[in-house]
Structure 1
Amino acid sequence: MKKFIIGLFALVGFSAQAAVINISTDQASYNVGDTVTATVNLDVNALLAIGGTLPLISFDNTFIYDSTSLTYSDGSVTFGDSSGFTFLDGLFPTAPGMISVSSTGLLPFSWMLEMLGTQQLLAGTLELYTLNFSALSAVNDSLFDVSGSVLNSNGQQLQATTSSAQISITEVPAPSTGVLALLACFGMAVSRVKARR
C-alpha cells in the first residue's frame, strides 16, 4: 500500500506542469471606478520544459474577463518590449468579456532570429501585453483567464498552459450626511472668523 501511495504522488508530481502563460494584476483589491491593469507574461523556462523551442515569433490569445464587473478601456493595450512581438499587433473584442489578442514579429534574417532567441532565453519571462479595465461594480471574485498558443520560427505551435488571476472590487463608502454637515458648519465658522479680522 505504501508503494502505491508513493507511486501515485510521483505520477502526480511528474505530470504537473508550470503555467506557461501567467496573468498578474497590479493589486488584488480595487474600488469601483479604479483602473485595473492586467499583465500577461510568458514563462520561457516552462515553455522549454514542455518541448518548446526558441525564438518565439508570434502568439494568439483569447483573454477572458467578467464583463459585468469590468469594462475594457479602449486602446489601452501595450505590447511588451523584450518579447520581439512587434509587428501586426491586433486586438479584437470577439464577445462580451472576451478579447482576441495577437502579435507577430516579422524577422526575415536568420541572424535576427538567433539574436531574438538569445534575448528571449536571457529574459526568462516575456511580457506579452498589458490591458487596462475600469471597475464597474462590486464583486467578491472577478476572474481573468487567457488561453491560446505561441509559434516559434520553425513553425512549431504550442498550446500554452495558463493560469488565472482573481481580484475583488468593493464600493467606495459615501461619506455620511452628518460628517458633511459638520464640515460645512466648520467651513462657515472659519470664514466668519476670517471676515472679522
Structure 2
Amino acid sequence: MSLLDARLQMVLSLVPAGSVLLDIGTDHCRLPAEGLLSGRLSGAFAADLRPGPLAAARRQLAALGLEQKIPLYLSNGLQSIPQAVLEKVQVICIAGMGGELISMIMNDAPAINALWVLQPMSAVYELLDTLAEKGYEVRQGALARDGDKFYRAFAVSSSGVPYRPDYFGMLQNDPLYSPYLLKEEHRILAALHGLQSARSPDAGRILQAQALLGAIRKAKQ
C-alpha cells in the first residue's frame, strides 16, 4: 500500500527514476520513503524548518526500517544542507507550500545543477511568472484530483534564459486537463466578478484576472 495520497503520487511521478532526491519541507517524510520503498529513487535526503515535523519523520522512518537510509536535516530551505549532500542531489522537491514561499526558497538557495519538482498550494501563476523571469524552464507538468480540488506540479530546470510563461501547455496530455481548465475558468470568473463589484476596484488585479481568463479560454480551444 502506498504511503502517498494522489497529490504526492503526482509529485513523485515527476521525479526521474533512479534519482537522488532532496525533499524540502518533508513533514512526515512520506515522499522520500515511498520513493525508496518503491524503487523509484536511488537515494534520498529530507529537510524541514521545524523540529516537530522532523521528529515525526524519524518515527515514520523507524517504523519503515529506513532510519539509516534517509538523512534528515533541520534547515530553512537549502541553507543548512551540507555541500557534500548538495553535490549528490539530482532532484529537489518542494511540495505543499505557497508559491511565494517556494520562490523565496529557490531564490535563497545556493547554486545547484538539479531538477526542481514544485507543487504549490497557492499563487501558482505568480510562481510560473517568477520561474519564467529567472529562466527556469518547465520540463513537465502534472495534475491530481482529490474530490473537487485539483493540484498542480511541475518539474523545472534552469536554462538561464527568461521567457514568456505558458500556464497550461505542459498539461495538455494530462487526462485531467479539460476538467481542470473548466474548474479554473469558473474560479477566475468568480474572482473577476468580485473584483469588478468591489467598492474600490483594483484595476491591476482586474487586468490580471482578465488576462488569465483569456489564457484559459485559449487553452480550451
Normalised-by-shorter TM-score class: under 0.3
TM-score, with normalisation over the residues of structure 2? 0.24
TM-score, with normalisation over the residues of structure 1? 0.26
Kindly indicate which of the two structures has a greater share of residues assigned to helix: 2
Kindly indicate which of the two structures has a greater share of residues assigned to strand: 1
